Structure 1
């Protein structure tokens, strides 16, 4: 196999050297405990804020905005359409099926309502995501960096979404494990996780693309350095599996709508689509040129920060699968039109952006690192509570 643990390949024998099963879980325990602590802090802050605002944390996390659409699909199946003034048509086919399938399954086997089942799925998925993120960071830069990476991801300003009955945690878990499998040469597992990610969110295409481009580079490098060769049957099987979930849902929506572009038409009814970032750019400019100048400046600073972090990841020498996945997620998020308040949430699965910061945090002395993490976690908890008590969806 060629070396994908560097920007261009998979380290020979990496899959055999990687910890497995209980050993891998034991190694990840500190990261998982810290992740749970940060998220618990966020939920407590949300609940305390709700005491003054009259809004319960459970309702905010499980029964608002997209959560309602997922729960309705779980309870009634697809087929609900909401017609709004101005010509917008909101169809539930905009939402991919894996999360509502899991909500329906869990509420059928346990005494849970569908919204509560959504919270359980999200909680388990967020822990799986944290484990996968740790595995990537640990594999590339060591255990301390892996732990720091998980804590930073948990303490994102929009980290509260990880505790909501939304699909971001589920998608990030599947994407992280697919990327880890690519880094360690587990091609079939990488393809299987990519297929499930493709049933979770439209951006599952980014995971599929990461599998394909990584496989293509591995094959090209194998032609130049034929010994050792990549495991061709497993590689091809992983490549074939990767797009099945994403393609299956697009095909199903196309069949339901009677149009090859059915899913794109559904997104268009919501006012979503891709315009190269023109709508988002106009949105930022309107704020920079008006009384909301501070908000526009904050948005501009956020975009610049994201791009700087991506460049830092390139300079850090992140592997090709991570760079390609992150770049695709950012491209899809920043060039999409629609509700601009959701863009931070749409970029949340791009956890490799945090690797340069995690590596820097890991180099600090423990006392200083704990102080930094505490401040960041508190700020995230307060911001998350403020955000969810606002009028618009995250």
Structure 2
């Protein structure tokens, strides 16, 4: 396969400087993103109408959306006992999205479910803006637009428009990483804390803040540093884990067990086993009549690992490598419902940067044809997926 073009070194670019100018610079990316997602929603609506289904229900009133809305309406404390004796508790869901749903529902006529759709719609645009800012800073504006488009046309990109927390988390993570690239430590730490209140994978943003700070301190060992820079860095490092650790600690108190959150996840059949369960899942398919599915899964894992290796070889900035590496590791080593793994990888956008850089260097017409075809395929697959098993 052709070697991808290496991104340029991090330069101080205009990705998110003064807000009006930054928004104008990001406008092409946001327009492409909004158009792509609109196409996905139109295809879903048409498919739902033909199938005599409700597109609104598919987006906001199934699976995790129901759990988020229930927390928004009545707080935590709901659980469901399953036939196998396991217990599904709402404590598995981090609170940022239901907090926002509750706030919007209290301020206006929206239900919690509709508030969730609104949060996802707005957050997805901020996520796209954040992705553009990162891509622009690392490899230029064309790569930034292409990165946003690639994220929009992911096969499971429809999740970005659902009342789920992926878009909100990606927005907070992207802007935290951008702040890290700009060495705005307090902002990076504050956004990392909010990301940590949104999804368990918020630990990846915390790791990016901590390891970037550690690398900078190690590099500058023995040099005189300005005291306000040190204080800002330490403040960012201290802020970063407060959201994630705070919620996990609260669940421990609520359940009366130091391992409370792990116990809650175990009730859902989730946890981390180093990838053994996922590997067994793939091997079982490779040794059965479901060989094509197993081969596709194995190829998908190989592509993800290859993209991460390319990102390392191209020397993407440390915050992006740490974040992407942790998100990828958590997704691939988690056990539980394996159909949700593509959704768990939606926030791992730095893995798309090498591809975005390569496509940005090609002829615009060819790139547009490739991405346009991917957008149509994503729209059709998203509608098909939600009418079938879909996420949970």
> Which of the five TM-score ranges fits, normalised by the shorter chain?
over 0.9
2:291 to 290, 293, 301: 293
Distance 1:208 1:15, change over 3 A: farther
1:20 positional shift? 2.1
2:110 pairs with 1:103: no
1:186 to 173, 184, 187: 184
2:49 pairs with 1:59: no
8 Å CA contact 2:196, 2:202 repeated in 1: yes
Name the CA distance, whole Å, in 2 between partners of 1:76 and 1:15.
45
Map of 1:241-252 to 2, 5 A cutoff? 241-252=239-250
Name the CA distance, whole Å, in 2 between partners of 1:350 and 1:118.
22
Name the CA distance, whole Å, in 2 between partners of 1:265 and 1:280.
20
In the TM superposition, what whole-angstrom CA distance separates every residue of 1:125-171 from its partner, at most 9, and x where no partner exists? Answer: 00010000000000111001000000000000110000000000000
Map of 1:21-40 to 2, 5 A cutoff? 21-40=19-38
Instruction: Give the TM-score, by structure 1 length.
Output: 0.95
1:224 positional shift? 5.0
Name the CA distance, whole Å, in 2 between partners of 1:270 and 1:227.
48
What's 1:198 paired with? 196
8 Å CA contact 1:18, 1:184 repeated in 2: no
1:54 positional shift? 1.7
Name the CA distance, whole Å, in 1 between partners of 2:14 and 2:182.
8
8 Å CA contact 1:15, 1:185 repeated in 2: no
What's 2:315 paired with? 317
2:372 pairs with 1:374: yes
1:240 to 210, 216, 238: 238
Name the CA distance, whole Å, in 2 between partners of 1:312 and 1:242.
28
Displacement over 3 Å in runs of 4+: 14-18, 224-230
What's 2:3 paired with? none
2:155 pairs with 1:152: no
8 Å CA contact 1:15, 1:184 repeated in 2: no
Name the CA distance, whole Å, in 2 between partners of 1:375 and 1:17.
28
**RMSD, matched Cα:** 1.8
Name the CA distance, whole Å, in 2 between partners of 1:268 and 1:242.
26
8 Å CA contact 1:171, 1:201 repeated in 2: yes
1:393 positional shift? 2.6
1:62 positional shift? 0.4
1:96 positional shift? 0.2
8 Å CA contact 2:15, 2:134 repeated in 1: no
8 Å CA contact 1:275, 1:336 repeated in 2: yes
2:73 to 72, 75, 86: 75
Name the CA distance, whole Å, in 2 between partners of 1:184 and 1:85.
51
1:369 positional shift? 1.4
Instruction: Give the TM-score, by structure 2 length.
Output: 0.95
Q: Which moved more, 1:219-228 or 1:32-41?
A: 219-228
What's 1:139 paired with? 137
What's 2:40 paired with? 42
In the TM superposition, what whole-angstrom CA distance separates every residue of 1:8-62 from its partner, at most 9, and x where no partner exists? Answer: x976xx4899622111111101100100001011111111111222212111000
Name the CA distance, whole Å, in 1 between partners of 2:10 and 2:240.
18
SS in 2 for 1:382: helix
Name the CA distance, whole Å, in 2 between partners of 1:88 and 1:54.
34
Name the CA distance, whole Å, in 2 between partners of 1:392 and 1:160.
10
1:225 positional shift? 4.9
SS in 2 for 1:29: helix
2:360 pairs with 1:362: yes
What's 2:346 paired with? 348
Name the CA distance, whole Å, in 2 between partners of 1:76 and 1:111.
17
8 Å CA contact 2:26, 2:129 repeated in 1: yes
What 5-or-longer segments of structure 1 have no aligned partner? Answer: 1-5
1:315 positional shift? 1.5
8 Å CA contact 1:284, 1:296 repeated in 2: yes
